[in-house]
Amino acid sequence: MKISILDDYFETVRSLSCFKQVDGHEVEIWHDHVQDVDALAERLKDTEILVLIRERTQIRTALLERLPKLKLISQRSVDPHIDVDCCSRLGIIVSSYQHTDTPCAPAAELTFALALSAMRQIPQQMQSLKAGNWQMGVGSTMRYKIFGIYGYGQIGAMVAGYAKAFGAEVLVWGSEASRLKAKADGYASASSVEQFFSVCDVLSLHLRLYPATRGIVKAEHLALMKPSALIVNTSRAGLIESGALEQALAAGRPGNAAVDVFDSEPLRDTSHALLNLPQVVCTPHIGYSTFDQYEIQFGDVFDQINAYLAGQPSHVVNPAVLQSAALRR
C-alpha cells in the first residue's frame, strides 16, 4: 500500500520502534507543513492510506475530492480538522483512537512546567542573564496559591495532582460531571464560573474544543482575574474568545499567561501579540511532542492501518462507511 505521513517536522517517525509495523509498504513522509490544496493534491494523488499527526493539516472536501485512491485516514485523538461527512460520502474510512482512558502525560507535564516557568519568570531571567544584566525581577512561588483547573478530565486530574504536590490549593470548574469527579478525588469546586476566575492565582484550561466550548472563556471572565494571576492554555486556543486574551493582558487582568496553542498553527508571524508581550511565556504546541508519546501515538496509528488491511477496521469514526469502503478495496 502507498502510505503518506504528513507534517513530521523533525523526521521522527522513521526512528520509532513502532515504525516496523508498516514494513513492506511504500511509505512517504513529508517533513514540511503545506496547507495549499493544489500542492497537497499533487503530493497525495497516489496515496491509499493517509497518516496525520494530530491536527496539523486540515483535510477538507476540496482536497478529499481530488484523492481518488485514498481509502483510509489513520490518526489519533480528536478529528475537527477532517471533513468526516465528506469522507463518508467518498467511502474513505477515518480511524482515530480517542484514548479517553489514557491521559497525555506529556501535555500535563508541560502545563505544569509552563506554570512554574511563568511564575518564576524563567525565560525572562535567562534573557536578562544572557544580556549581562543579572536578575530582572522577583517571581512567585506555587505553594499556598489557588490553582484552578477548568475541565477535570484525564489531563486536568494529572495537573491537579502536580499542583497539590507543590502545596497549592486546587479549585475546579467545569461540567457537573467534572466537578463531581473532582469532589470524589478530594478537590473543591467553585460556586460559579465568576468566582472561579476571580479567586484563582493560576488558572489552567483543560477542555476539548467542540462547538459548545469554542470561545467558552470570554473577555468578561478574564477581566475578573487578579492582576497577579496567571492563565495557562495548553489545550486549544479556540477555547478563549478571539482576541480576548491579548486585550486582557494589555489591560492587566490577568497579569500573566503561558500558552502552547495558537489560533493559526504553525505560527511563524513574529509580530503576533502574544510573542511580544513580556509577561507571556510561549511554546510552539509541544504539549504532546515527546519521543515517548510518539511511540504510543504511532503505535496506535499503525495498529489501525494493519487492522484495516486485515479486514477488521478499528476505532472507526464514520462506521456507516464500512460497507461501501469494503467494495472499494
Instruction: Render pLDDT for 26-43 as a digit per residue (tens, 0 to 9).
Output: 999 999 999 999 999 999
Q: Which residue in 54, 206, 221, 285 is the catalytic one?
A: 285
Q: How far apart are CA 63 and CA 211, in angstroms?
A: 23
Burial call 96-109: b when 16+ CB within 10 Å, e when fewer = bbeeeeebbbbbbb
Write the pLDDT tens digit of every residue in 38-58.
Answer: 999 999 999 999 999 988 999
pTM, rounded to two decimals: 0.89
Task: Encode 202-223: b = buried (16+ Cβ within 10 Å), e = exposed.
Answer: bbbbbbbbeeebeebbeeebbb
Q: In what order do the strands lie in the sheet with 2-5?
A: 26-29, 2-5, 49-51, 72-76, 93-97
Catalytic residue among 54, 206, 221, 236: 236
Q: Give yes or no: 120 in active site.
A: no
Model pLDDT for residues 200-230, shown as the tens digit of each residue = 999 999 999 989 999 999 999 999 999 999 9
Q: What is the pLDDT of residue 226?
A: 98
Q: In this predicted structure, what is the pLDDT of residue 57?
A: 95
CATH class of the domain whose range is 105-282? alpha beta
pLDDT of residue 322: 86
- Cell representation of residue 37: 490544496
Give the least confident one: 23-27, 124-128, 256-260, 324-328: 324-328
pLDDT at 319 over 90: yes
Give the E-state strand segments of the chain in sequence order: 2-5, 26-29, 49-51, 72-76, 93-97, 146-150, 169-173, 188-189, 202-205, 230-233, 256-259, 280-282
Please compute the mean of the pLDDT values over residues 312-329 and round it to a whole number. 79
The 3-state DSSP class for residue 310 equals: coil
Q: Which three cell numbers stand for residue 196?
A: 472561579
CATH 3.40.50.720 domain span(s) along the chain: 2-100+290-328, 105-282
Among residues 164, 142, 101, the alpha carbon closest in space to that of 258 is found at 142
What percentage of the chain carries pLDDT values higher than 90?
A: 92
In the chain, what percentage of residues exceed pLDDT 70?
98
Which one-letter amino acid corresponds to residue 313?
A: P
Q: What is the mean pLDDT of residues 148-159?
A: 97
Model confidence band, residue 98 (pLDDT cutoffs 50, 70, 90): confident
The answer to whether residue 169 is catalytic is no
Asked if pLDDT for residue 282 goes beyond 90, the answer is: yes
Residue 324: per-residue pLDDT: 67
Find, among 70, 36, 74, the residue nearest to 53 by Cα: 74
pLDDT of residue 99: 78
pLDDT at residue 326 tops 80: no
Query: What distance in Å separates the CA atoms of residue 23 and residue 18, rounded to the nearest whole number?
Result: 10
3-state SS string over 77-101? CCCCCECHHHHHHHCCEEEEECCCC
Q: From 9, 74, 76, 13, select the one nearest 307 (Cα to Cα).
A: 74
Q: Residue 78: what pLDDT?
A: 83
Annotated active-site residue 99? The verdict is no
Which of the following is catalytic: 265, 272, 295, 328? Answer: 265
Which CATH code fits 2-100+290-328?
3.40.50.720
Pairing mode of beta strands 146-150, 280-282: unpaired
| Euclidean distance between CA atoms 228 and 188, whole angstroms | 22
Say if residue 184 is exposed, middle or buried (CB neighbours under 10 Å; 0-12, 13-18, 19+).
exposed
| Three cell numbers, residue 183 | 469532589
Band of pLDDT at residue 327, cut at 50, 70 and 90: very low
Which whole number is the average pLDDT over 162-167?
98
Q: Element (H or E) spanning 60, and its range?
A: none
Grid cell of 30 as nine digits? 513529508
Answer whether residue 263 shows pLDDT above 90.
yes
pLDDT band per the 50, 70, 90 thresholds, residue 190: very high
H and E: helices and strands count for the chain:
12, 12
- What 3-state class would DSSP assign to 115? helix
Residue 328's pLDDT is what?
53
